[in-house]
Structure 1
Amino acid sequence: MKLGVFSVLFGQKSFEESLDYIASKGLEAIEIGTGGYPGNAHCNPEALLADEGKLKAFKKAVESRGLMISALSCHGNPLHPQKPIAQDHHNVIIKSLELAEKLEVPVVNTFSGCPGDHEGAKYPNWPVAPWPPDYQEILDWQWANKVIPYWTETGKFASDRNVKIGLELHGGFSVHTPATLLRLREAAGDVIGANLDPSHMWWQGIDPVQAVQILGRAGAIHHFHAKDTSIDPININKHGVTDMQSYTNMLDRAWQFRTVGYGHDMKIWADIISALRLVGYDYVVSIEHEDGLMSVDEGFTKAVENLQQVLIKEPLGEMWWV
Structure 2
Amino acid sequence: MKLGVFTVLFSDKNLEDMLDHVVSKGIEAIELGTGGYPGDAHCKVDELLEDETKQKEFMEKISNRGLIISALSCHSNPLHPQKQISEEADALYEKTVRLASKLGIPVVNTFSGCPGDHEDAKYPNWPVAPWPNDFQDILKWQWEEKIIPYWKEKAAFAEKHNVKIGLELHGGFSVHTPANLLRLREACGPVIGANLDPSHMWWQGIDPVESIKILGRENAIHHFHAKDTIIDQPNMNRNGLTDMTPYTNMKDRAWYFRTVGFGHDTKVWADMISALRLYDYDYVVSIEHEDGLMSTDEGFTKAVENLKPVMVKESVGDMWWA
TM-score interval, normalised by the smaller of the two chains: over 0.9
Aligned counterparts of 1:78 and 1:316: Cα–Cα separation in 2: 41
What residue number does 1:316 align with? 316
DSSP 3-state at the match of 2:212: helix
Which residue of structure 1 aligns with residue 170 of structure 2? Answer: 170
What is the letter of the counterpart of residue 182 of structure 2?
Answer: L
Aligned alpha-carbon RMSD (Å): 0.5
The match for 2:283 is: 283
Deviates more, 1:308-317 or 1:77-86: 308-317
Give, in angstroms, the shift of residue 316 of structure 1.
Answer: 1.7
Further displaced range: 46-55 or 128-137? 46-55
Matching residue of 1:197: 197
2:235 aligned with 1:239, yes or no?
Answer: no
- Counterpart CA distance in 2 for 1:92 and 1:61 is 24
Report the more deviating stretch, 45-54 or 124-133.
45-54
- Runs of 4+ aligned structure 1 residues displaced above 3 Å come to none
Structure-2 residue corresponding to 1:160: 160
The two structures have a TM-score, normalised by structure 1, of 0.99
Corresponding position: 1:179 with 2:147: no
Q: Deviations over 1:26-61 (max 9, x none)?
A: 111000000110000111111101221111111101
Residue 2 of structure 1 aligns with an amino acid whose one-letter code is K
Matched with 2:139 is 139
Shift of 1:283: 0.3
Instruction: Name the residue aligned to 2:71.
Output: 71
1:198-237 to 2 correspondence within 5 Å?
Answer: 198-237=198-237
In structure 2, the residue corresponding to 1:31 is in which secondary structure?
strand
SS of residue paired to 1:261: coil
**Letter of the structure 1 residue corresponding to residue 5 of structure 2:** V
Query: Take 2:54 and 2:296, find their aligned partners in 1: how far apart are those partners?
Result: 29
Q: Distance in 2 between matches of 1:173 and 1:94?
A: 19
Instruction: Kindly provide the amino acid, as one letter, of the partner of residue 178 in structure 2.
Output: P
Rounded to whole Å, the distance in 1 between the matches of 2:132 and 2:14 is: 51
Q: Deviations over 1:234-265 (max 9, x none)?
A: 10101010000110001110000000000001
Asked if residue 248 in structure 1 is aligned to residue 248 in structure 2, the reply is yes
Query: Which residue in 2 is equivalent to 1:22?
Result: 22
Give the equivalent residue in structure 2 for 1:271.
271
**Post-superposition CA distance 1:285-320 (Å, at most 9, x none):** 000000000000000000000000101011222111
Q: Secondary structure at the match of 2:256?
A: strand
Cα distance in 1, alignment partners of residues 313 and 188 from structure 2: 32
Specify the SS of the correspondent of 2:69: strand
Distance 1:239 1:315 in 2: 44
- Determine the C-alpha separation between the residues in 2 that align with 1:233 and 1:90: 39
Percent identity of equivalent pairs: 70
In structure 1, give the amino acid aligned to 2:114: C
- Equivalent in the alignment of 2:118: 118
SS across alignment from 1:30: strand
For residue 233 of structure 1, report the CA deviation from its aligned partner.
Answer: 1.4
Larger CA deviation: 191-200 vs 45-54: 45-54
1:296 counterpart residue number:
296
Partner of 1:84: 84
**Counterpart of 1:50 in 2: which secondary structure?**
coil
Q: Unaligned stretches of 5+ in structure 2?
A: none
Deviates more, 1:201-210 or 1:39-48: 39-48
Q: Deviations over 1:215-247 (max 9, x none)?
A: 000000000000000000110101010000110
Secondary structure in 1 aligned to 2:306?
A: helix
Residue correspondences, number: 322
Shift of 1:277: 0.4
**Cross-structure match for 1:151:** 151
Q: Which residue of 2 aligns with 1:9?
A: 9
**What amino acid is the match of 1:271?**
D
Could you tell me how far apart the structure 2 residues matched to 1:205 and 1:144 are? 27
**Unmatched tracts of structure 1, length 5 or more:** none
**AA in 2 matched with 1:290:** E
SS class of match (1:165): strand
CA-to-aligned-CA distance 1:180-211 (integer Å, 9 cap, x gap): 00000000000000000000000000000000
SS of the equivalent of 1:115 reads coil
Instruction: Tell me the secondary structure at the aligned position of residue 251 of structure 1.
Output: helix
Q: Secondary structure at the match of 1:125?
A: coil
